[in-house]
Chains A and B, each alone.
Chain A
Amino acid sequence: DTAVSQTPKYLVTQMGNDKSIKCEQNLGHDTMYWYKQDSKKFLKIMFSYNNKELIINETVPNRFSPKSPDKAHLNLHINSLELGDSAVYFCASSQPARPSYNEQFFGPGTRLTVL
Chain B
Amino acid sequence: ELKVEQNPLFLSMQEGKNYTIYCNYSTTSDRLYWYRQDPGKSLESLFVLLSNGAVKQEGRLMASLDTKARLSTLHITAAVHDLSATYFCAVDNFNKFYFGSGTKLNVKP
Interface residues of A (CB under 8 A from B): 31, 33, 40-45, 48, 50, 55-56, 90, 92, 96, 100-109
Contacts and interface: CB of A to CB of B under 8 A. Distances in A.
A115 to B, nearest CB: 20
A43 B88 contact: yes
Contact of B95 (A90, A102, A103, A108): A102
A31 B101 contact: no
Nearest to B30: A101
Interface of B: 31, 33, 35, 37, 41-45, 48, 50, 86, 88, 90, 92, 95-99, 101-102, 104
Which 4 interchain pairs have the tightest Cβ spacing?
A: A43-B99, A106-B43, A106-B42, A103-B48
- Majority DSSP secondary structure for residues of B touching A: strand
B99 A42 contact: yes
A96 B42 contact: no
Contacts of B50: 101
B42 A55 contact: no
Nearest to A111: B40
A41 B42 contact: no
A43 B44 CA distance: 14
22 contacts: A40-B101, A41-B37, A41-B86, A41-B104, A42-B99, A45-B97, A48-B95, A48-B96, A50-B95, A55-B95, A101-B31, A101-B48, A102-B92, A104-B33, A104-B43, A104-B45, A104-B90, A105-B45, A106-B35, A106-B44, A107-B42, A109-B41
A56 B92 CA distance: 13
Contacts of A40: 101
Contacts of B102: 41-43
B38 to A, nearest CB: 12
B31 to A, nearest CB: 6
Contact of B96 (A45, A106, A109): A45
